[in-house]
Chain A
Amino acid sequence: MITLNDTVLQYLLAAVVALPLLGAAAALLPAPPGLRGRSPEQAVLRHGVTVTGVVLAAALALAAGFDYDRAQDIQGGTDISWIPALGIRLHLGVDGISLPLLVLTALLTFLCALYSYRNPPKGPTPTAFVALLLVLEAGTLATFAVLDLVLFFLAFEMVLVPMYFLIARWGGEGRAKAAWKFILYTLLGSVVMLLGLLLVGLTAGTFDMVALASDNGAGIGRTTQIVAVLALGIGFAVKTPMWPLHTWLPDAHTAAPTVGSVLLAGVMLKMGTYGLVRIVLPAAPEGAAHFAPYLAAFAVVGILYGSLACLALVRRGGGGDLKRLIAYSSVGHMGFVLLGIATLTRTGVNGALFANVAHGLITGLLFFLVGALKERTGSTDLDALAAQAAGGRGAGLYGRAPRFGGLLAFGAVASLGLPGLAGFWGEMLALLGAYHPADGLSRPAYLVFMALGGLGTLLTAAYLLLVVRRVCMGERQPETAALPDVRGYEFAAWTPLVVLTVLAGLWPALLLGLTDPAVQNLLPGVSR
């Protein structure tokens, strides 16, 4: 859009990764005179908004300066030797795959900071909260920006510590156990992943992702590739999460504070699928082809399992928690992403990347809304909510807070994949990819997967409409008080997500034009 030379891009990208870290350190220091604000709490929360805002601005400038005609190339690259003894380099860069995720991360973190500024989370001091939020942002951005396997691992791990504390300190009921489960699962997963990364790096003789992608697995034997993909796959599958390794996710989401849930669903889950696309597909294609059918099978089970679990939660008397329901729906949605990747086709992988971003936008919005709902009604228990209105059939949000109810219905409908909204394209492309998987993969099996995935979309629609039925609809009782409708700061935090959901739904080429050249680059020799 605007032309920036590569040096400027390079500095912008370095700034995007480094600023949150510097900001986190600065948050721990006392505020300088002139920036003290009304109270130390207010000052540090404002600091969080400023830093994430600057990072977002830098990310947007990076997106503006990105050369869309060569989206397959690494742009804004920095490549400095860090540990020559092990051949580890500080290698940064963006291409069409990582750019949307970088911008999404910067945006969601900024919105979270904005939201927390007016609505500080309940817990210990906000200083630590802001510092942790910024470290979390730095780790996530670094995961998407680095091009060295070992750095990738470091960035991947850097996210765990702040997320653990966000859950354990600012979370709700059962937070200690949920946080421990979260850290245990993801840590064990990433240790296995590290072994896979080392195996790939040491046998190929380089840790550089660009070199590994251009070699396309040439320097790694088939057996090694299979072992490496197994190890890497387990690590990424825990993070994504893939059924049956998902059990940490519902607990973590239910216990996490609103901001934690938004970031967890919005960006952290993407790190797993990003790793699959960025590392597994290009660096070990034979291993990937070996495991693709299994991955697809697990993905489809995840889709069905996620939606059935949601259906069980949403039914009357099921005692389902709305946050937990959205967490399970994430398992289903990420199942589509995994299915898209497992087709090993351009269509499927593009669909997966699209669904990744769409899920970030929509589920981020939904977690914001559920957090706000809990604050207004004091509960996210579906039965308790429904009991607040006449006949216990629905919470009657439309009547009590019309705009809020409308937004919630919008989020639910977007999540079920209504055409015209962001959720549609990714899942459709993933299913389309499964209709005609890459050569060498069993087509009948994938047709079955596709059919089951299609069934999953139906079930998803069913439970999300039931959620709308039970939360938004229902007759308003005269004695129940009206709820506060969407507040100014909530409006500011949620509008960008709504706008982008509609935009991505109406103009999918915006995103697909960016990812497709890069995906072609990662899957050489694949025609579809």
Chain B
Amino acid sequence: MTETVTPAPPAPPAASAHPGDTAALAADLVQSVDWVALAPVAVTAAVALLLLLADLFLPERRKPLLGWAAVAGLALATLSLLPLVGEDRSTFCLTTDAAACSYTADGFALAIQLLVLGGALLTALLSVTTVADSKLPPGEYWFLLLSSVAGAALLPAARDLATLVVALEVASLPVFALIALRREDRKASEAALKFFLSSVTATAVSLLGISFVYAATGSLHLRTVAQSLTDVDPRLTVLVPAGIVLTLVGFAFKTAAVPYHFWVPETYVGAPVPVAAYLSVIGKAAGFSGLILVTLYAFPAYAGTWGPVVGVLAALTMTVGNVGALRQRPDAPHSAVRLLAWSSVAQAGYLLVPIASAAYGDDPGRAVGATVAYALMYAVVNLGAFAVVLRLHRAPRAGARPGADGGTRVADFRGLYAAHAPTALALAFFLLCLAGLPPGVIGLFAKVSVFAAAVDAGLGQLAVVMAVNVVIGLVYYLRWTALLFRAPVGAPARLSLPAPVGVALAVTAVAGVVLSGAPQLVLRFVSGSLL
């Protein structure tokens, strides 16, 4: 975890002439570990390993237990956040400098970890039936999913560049395998390969950038880097900005910001639906927390360098995402997942706005709060929307071989209200939240807080671009919503509702409604400084 100044190996026996000295020396060199602070990550990782082992010994008919064990493990990990609330705990600190730590569980880290673990819990609920139905190997599936979750949970708490990159890779590498798990599916393998190759390239570029930064500052700890960057050797004035921009590349890739968005639609369509949901929410959250950490924790002195970059990325990302979503034809194969994929690109654009604003405003904490609040809202409603898509995905269509149909099309949602009113109402609510319209009040306020961040920072143009994009977004979200209430064509398909999907749907719907009534629950991050 700490590559910078490694805890030195135990002192050689030859030097330990006086046993008392050895103990004192060891205390100097070995970092203390705060396991309570680490618990959310450690529990997830441990459960992942346990499940992989258990898979070897469980008989075939007991395999579904693995899924429930994963759900329980994630619930436990989520609960382990509770004792950490309200205090900043750091661990893996340098013995020479107690302020330089590699892992810090502060307000920001806890908020993102809540998002990651809660989102993963919902993903796990969605996956239980998919794993059984699509004949995915359960041991591998749950191990890969939980490993990725562990990486994503580690990321927001990481406070040195090396840990950050390791966490980012731990979060993304298992996902390639998850996408490719459907072995017979050529599309899935192609998607996984595309995703893998581009992701690895992005990480390599990031590492190059980090090496530049290290060359200029001599440290990997975010806090030390930030301090050193205020006073850089004049001969390195080209190297440092280059390093900063290159570092951003890897994180921008994970957030699917333009121009690294091209992998999104194909990958989401090729992946099992719960994995697509996972990528759209947790994968994105990981990318965002990384981006916030490098920009605001490590490079605040160079806000003039990365601020415009992030601002342009935000504007491009939301525009390209919205236009892409707008162009989706409702009756094309897989159009539901494809539309959600493009919409997730657009939403990433909104999420980037406060980060760009933080470069210009005088209160970056508020701006980051807006991103966190928006991400929490987005996680709830997007997972809800995916749950509904999954439900329709499972609906047997007459005369279609499993896996051979066109996937879920937006057109399949026509008349859903007549057939399944609660599901249709839930989806309508989620879509309106994503669009930012009442009755999706929380979506509206999350957008307002993002908008306010841009206006406060004086980024008028970005606010205007965002406003135009919100209007474009309305068109496709509303088109889909209206379709739900149209008269159905033919007899409505009978939908089964597996219990775990039902639970996930209910949890997201209730959470969305509660947040709409009391938006302060997530918006308090906007008023309370997270930095």
Contact = CB atoms under 8 A, between A and B. Distances in A.
Given A83-B520, A184-B478, 18 more contacts: A84-B520, A85-B526, A85-B527, A88-B445, A154-B438, A154-B441, A154-B444, A157-B437, A180-B482, A183-B478, A191-B437, A191-B470, A191-B471, A198-B448, A198-B455, A202-B455, A202-B456, A203-B455
26 contacts: A83-B519, A83-B523, A84-B524, A84-B527, A85-B523, A85-B524, A86-B448, A86-B449, A86-B452, A86-B523, A150-B445, A154-B438, A154-B441, A157-B437, A157-B438, A165-B485, A168-B485, A183-B478, A184-B478, A187-B437, A188-B474, A191-B471, A191-B474, A192-B471, A198-B455, A203-B455
B485 A85 contact: no
B323 to A, nearest CB: 18
A210 to B, nearest CB: 20
B445 A86 contact: yes
Contacts of B486: 176
A181 to B, nearest CB: 12
Contacts of B452: 86, 198, 202
Interface string A74-98: 0000000011111010000000000
B396 interface: no
Interface of A: 82-86, 88, 150, 153-154, 157-158, 161, 165, 168, 176, 180, 183-184, 187-188, 191-192, 195, 198-199, 202-203
Contacts of B474: 187-188, 191
A96 to B, nearest CB: 28
Interface of B: 369, 373, 437-439, 441, 444-445, 448-449, 451-452, 455-456, 467, 470-471, 474, 478, 482, 485-486, 519-520, 523-527
B450 to A, nearest CB: 11
Contact of A161 (B439, B519, B523, B525): B439
A86 B456 contact: no
Nearest to B528: A85
A84 to B, nearest CB: 6
B74 to A, nearest CB: 29
Contacts of A187: 437, 474, 478
A83 B373 CA distance: 13
B296 to A, nearest CB: 19
**Which of B438, B439, B456, B474 has most A Cβ within 10 Å?**
B438
Contacts of B373: 85
Nearest to B516: A154
A146 to B, nearest CB: 13
Contacts of B470: 191
A88 B520 CA distance: 10
A86 B526 contact: yes
A198 B445 CA distance: 11
B82 to A, nearest CB: 23
Residue among A83, A180, A183, A191 facing the most chain B CB atoms (10 A cut-off): A83
Contact of A198 (B451, B520, B526): B451
A188 B475 CA distance: 9
Contacts of B448: 86, 150, 198
A88 B442 CA distance: 13
A158 B471 contact: no
Nearest to B370: A85
B486 to A, nearest CB: 8
Contacts of B524: 84-85
A33 to B, nearest CB: 26
A199 B451 CA distance: 10
A275 to B, nearest CB: 16
A6 B489 CA distance: 56
A513 to B, nearest CB: 36
Contacts of A83: 445, 519-520, 523
Contacts of A188: 471, 474
A103 B437 CA distance: 28
A85 B467 contact: no
Q: List the 8 closest pairs (A to B, CB-CB), nearest first.
A: A85-B523, A85-B527, A85-B526, A157-B438, A202-B455, A83-B520, A83-B519, A154-B438
Contacts of A203: 455
A176 to B, nearest CB: 8
A132 to B, nearest CB: 13
Contacts of B478: 183-184, 187
A176 B415 CA distance: 14
A85 B451 contact: no
A337 B456 CA distance: 36
A290 B478 CA distance: 34
Nearest to B455: A202
Contacts of A176: 486
A195 B467 CA distance: 7
Nearest to B470: A191
Contacts of B526: 85-86
Given A191-B471, A191-B474, A202-B455, A85 B438 contact: no
A198 B464 CA distance: 12
Contacts of A165: 485
Contacts of A198: 448, 451-452, 455
Nearest to B449: A86
A184 B475 CA distance: 9
A282 B519 CA distance: 29
Nearest to A231: B467
Contacts of A180: 482
Nearest to B467: A195
A48 to B, nearest CB: 21
A413 B457 CA distance: 57
Interface centre among A85, A154, A165 (most CB of B within 10 A): A85
Contacts of A153: 438
Contacts of A183: 478, 482
A84 B366 CA distance: 13
Residue among A153, A154, A184, A203 with most chain B CB within 10 A: A154
Contacts of B527: 84-85
Given A188-B471, A191-B471, A158 B439 contact: yes
B361 to A, nearest CB: 13
Contacts of A191: 437, 470-471, 474
B520 A82 contact: yes
Contacts of B441: 154
A188 B471 CA distance: 7
B123 to A, nearest CB: 28
Contacts of A158: 438-439
A268 to B, nearest CB: 16
A196 B59 CA distance: 63
